[in-house]
């Protein structure tokens, strides 16, 4: 009998809808052995390791939730060492970048479609693997901005159904104006590529590695996850209002300004504490002296519409 593992978070803002649309429906599904993985209240890496332990060759994993839940599912599959495990993503979050990158297939399409190879990004910190990211990694101001959505008041508002992208932008703008527009988010670093050419970047507030159609739903990236080597690389100083607005306008109506890369290496002048983010999940990491980004050596099998 085929095995299906549902990954979900009962503490998410939209779990009521997930239960109605997915959990309850899967109870009556014939021909499948249904298992459920409930996201623990820890972090992405711990949940990915726990999920990896229950996976078997040929499983179908369905992530029903936001990008954080989908990120756990993707990382769990990648670190499991199992063969032929497929991922389907049903977006029930605020941004749903991974679901959008995969074409937002329905539950029926996930159950009945063949999987395709996608190539996540692999992020290494100080020479050690940290996390895979199907959609993107950010370091700096954008990464820290994600913390605003974990504020109890914001989460309560999102649970009431006010999940408009305009509400999200309003919250982020307030966060930037009140507390963080004059902060220095990243220390001086050199950015190198596969040819070992380095460019000094002393005033950047952000580094972005983009692998997906969108970032935070409204910023256009590019569907690089279907490519084996390239991704979009970008740095910028976003603490100045006019620069932030120029970047946002271009990103919304055209594409995030950046260049294609097959390998990025950030070397910091001195070890520093910085915020890292992948698919909306953030983590403050200390003593960072080097960051490397490139495509993973093995693909992820995903259901793409």
Whether residues 251 and 152 fall in one domain: yes
Whether residues 161 and 279 fall in one domain: yes
Whether residues 107 and 68 fall in one domain: yes
Choice among 12-16, 21-25, 288-292 with the minimum mean pLDDT: 12-16
CATH number, domain at 165?
A: 2.60.200.40
| Portion of the chain with pLDDT greater than 70, in percent | 85
Q: Which domain holds residue 95?
A: 2-119
Q: Which of 101, 119, 137 is the last residue of a domain?
A: 119
> Quick check: 286 and 112 in contact, CB under 8 A?
no
State the total domains in the chain.
2
At residue 253, the 3 state secondary structure works out as helix
Residue 35 lies in a domain: yes
Q: Is the dihedral of CA 162, 142, 212, 108 positive or negative?
A: negative
pLDDT tier at 173, thresholds 50, 70, 90: low
Residue 303 lies in a domain: no
Whether residues 88 and 192 fall in one domain: no
Whether residues 133 and 161 fall in one domain: yes
Q: Which of 91, 119, 147 is the last residue of a domain?
A: 119
Whether residues 201 and 273 fall in one domain: yes
128 forms beta bridges with 125
Q: Which of 119, 148, 166 is the last residue of a domain?
A: 119
E strand or H helix that includes residue 215: strand 214-215
Q: Is the model more confident about 179 or about 232?
A: 232
Summarised one tens digit per residue, pLDDT across range 36-51 is 999 999 999 999 999 9
Separation CA 257–CA 220 (nearest Å): 10
| Portion of the chain with pLDDT greater than 90, in percent | 63
Residue 188 lies in a domain: yes
pLDDT tier at 176, thresholds 50, 70, 90: low
What is the DSSP track for 149-199?
GGSHHHHHHHHTT---HHHHHHHHHHHIIIIITT---S--EEEE-TT--EE
pLDDT tier at 125, thresholds 50, 70, 90: very high
Pairing of strands 214-215, 219-220: antiparallel
Separation CA 155–CA 47 (nearest Å): 21
Residue 108 lies in a domain: yes
Q: At what angle do helices 67-80 and 44-54 cross, to 10 degrees?
A: 50
Whether residues 53 and 146 fall in one domain: no
Residue 290 lies in a domain: yes
Whether residues 140 and 95 fall in one domain: no
Whether residues 259 and 223 fall in one domain: yes
Residue 162 has pLDDT above 60, yes or no: no
- What's the DSSP call for residue 148? G
CATH number, domain at 92?
A: 3.40.50.10330
Whether residues 35 and 167 fall in one domain: no
At residue 64, the 3 state secondary structure works out as strand
Whether residues 30 and 66 fall in one domain: yes
Whether residues 274 and 188 fall in one domain: yes
Summarised one tens digit per residue, pLDDT across range 102-122 is 999 999 999 999 999 999 999
231 forms beta bridges with 261
For residue 142, give both structure tokens.
């954008």
């Amino acid at each position: 009998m085929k095995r299906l593992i549902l990954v979900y978070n009962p503490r998410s803002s939209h779990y009521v809808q997930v239960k109605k649309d997915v959990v309850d429906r899967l109870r009556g599904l014939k021909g499948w052995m249904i298992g459920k993985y409930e996201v623990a209240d820890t972090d992405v890496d711990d949940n990915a390791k726990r999920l990896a332990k229950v996976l078997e060759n040929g499983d179908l994993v369905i992530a029903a939730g936001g990008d954080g839940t989908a990120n756990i599912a993707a990382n769990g599959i990648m670190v499991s060492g199992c063969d032929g495990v497929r991922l389907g993503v049903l977006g029930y979050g605020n941004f749903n970048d991974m679901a959008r990158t995969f074409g937002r297939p329905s539950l029926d399409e996930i159950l009945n479609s063949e999987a395709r190879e996608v190539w996540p990004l692999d992020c290494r910190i100080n020479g050690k693997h940290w996390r895979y990211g199907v959609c993107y990694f950010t370091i700096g101001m954008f990464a820290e901005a994600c913390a605003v959505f974990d504020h109890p008041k914001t989460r309560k508002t999102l649970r009431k159904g006010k999940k408009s992208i305009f509400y999200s932008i309003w919250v982020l703008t307030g966060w930037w104006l009140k507390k963080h527009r004059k902060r220095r988010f990243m220390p001086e670093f050199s950015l190198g590529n596969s040819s070992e050419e380095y460019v000094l970047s002393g005033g950047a507030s952000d580094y972005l590695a983009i692998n997906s159609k969108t970032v935070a739903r409204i910023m256009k990236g590019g569907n690089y996850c279907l490519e084996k080597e390239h991704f979009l690389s970008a740095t910028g100083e976003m603490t100045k209002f006019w620069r932030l607005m120029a970047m946002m306008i271009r990103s919304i109506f055209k594409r995030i300004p950046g260049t294609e890369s097959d390998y990025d290496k950030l070397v910091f002048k001195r070890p520093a504490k910085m915020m890292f983010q992948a698919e909306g999940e953030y983590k403050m990491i200390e003593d960072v002296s080097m960051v490397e980004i490139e495509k993973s050596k093995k693909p992820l099998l995903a259901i793409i519409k």
